[in-house]
Amino acid sequence: MTGVRNAPPLSILLAFDGSEHSLAAVALLCDLPLHADSRISLLAIFPPSLAADHAPLRDALGQTEAYLKGRGLQVEAELSAGYPEEKVIERGELLRPDLILMGAIGLRATFGILLGGVAQQVVEYSDWPVLVVRAPYRGLRRALLLIDGSLNSQRAVDYLAKFPLPADSELQVMHVLPPLAYPAIPSGPRGPAGPPTAPAARDAIPQASRQADERQGQALIDHTLAGLRSAGLTAQGLLRRGDAATEIIQHIRDWQVDLLIAGARGLTPARDWRLGSLARKLVHYAGCSALIVK
């Protein structure tokens, strides 16, 4: 249980195209216990090539605006011509929203793509937190916050502390330690005893070093849990070791996570990318909705 909290008002840019995933984003928005003064900018964009055939999108936009207003939300809707990824990023720069909310795959996404091109570009290049929603949407029962001790990780923690998760959502905080670095096994004659076994190689790693690593990881989790408690959030800590993407994706499947929260870049960001390699993998392959905090 996350507990009942008074989240501050949010400015949310909701990119809409009438697709299944876009409607899932609308459903998620309606599940958030938003402050009454929160404002929703509902933006629908059609490519210039469809300028003469955008009536269905216009009608869907009007219906969605009416639906959200019927739920008591403050909504301003706009239909604009242009290239969706450019328009969403451009509008984000103008509005400086607390959150950009959008579906993972649009109506015209290429078959087989795990993440629509528009969502991919917005997550990669926008300067604001982006929540990418996947269909089918089944609620926000379970949320998973990833931490690694980096500045961007702490930004995700601070952001979540003010984010309006439903009161009945379960929250876990996960930290993945790097795989153990086994010592090289010397080559050459092995004698009658044969090569060292895996347990023997593992035992060659100083136990004190492993334990110190694990103590540091647990301390990071405990510090994060304490900070979340002070913000009214109750969470469970989870420490794992191994390849980060593999461990996280497996846990997402096992625990049936609905929402993943992570910082845009971790401790080892690639110099040429604004989005870290781990965050990019998770947005593409986690199979659940993802909130990337910047």
Cβ-Cβ contacts under 8 Å for 193 (sequence gap 6 or more)? none
pLDDT recorded at residue 184 = 59
> Are 110 and 149 part of one and the same domain?
no
Would 41 be classed as within a structural domain? yes
In tens, the pLDDT along 119-164 reads 888 998 999 999 999 999 999 999 999 999 999 999 999 999 999 9
Phi-psi region of 267 (alpha: psi -120 to 50; beta: other; left: phi over 0): alpha
Q: What is the CATH number of the domain that holds 174?
A: 3.40.50.620
Would 242 be classed as within a structural domain? yes
* Token output for 131: 């929540």
> Are 79 and 143 part of one and the same domain?
no
In tens, the pLDDT along 2-54 reads 655 678 999 999 999 999 999 999 999 999 999 999 999 999 998 887 777 78
pTM of the model: 0.86
In tens, the pLDDT along 83-116 reads 889 999 999 999 999 999 999 975 544 333 344 5
* Token output for 221: 């989790």
Q: How many domains does the chain have?
A: 2
pLDDT recorded at residue 195 = 55
For range 246-266, the mean pLDDT:
93
What's the domain range around 94?
8-137
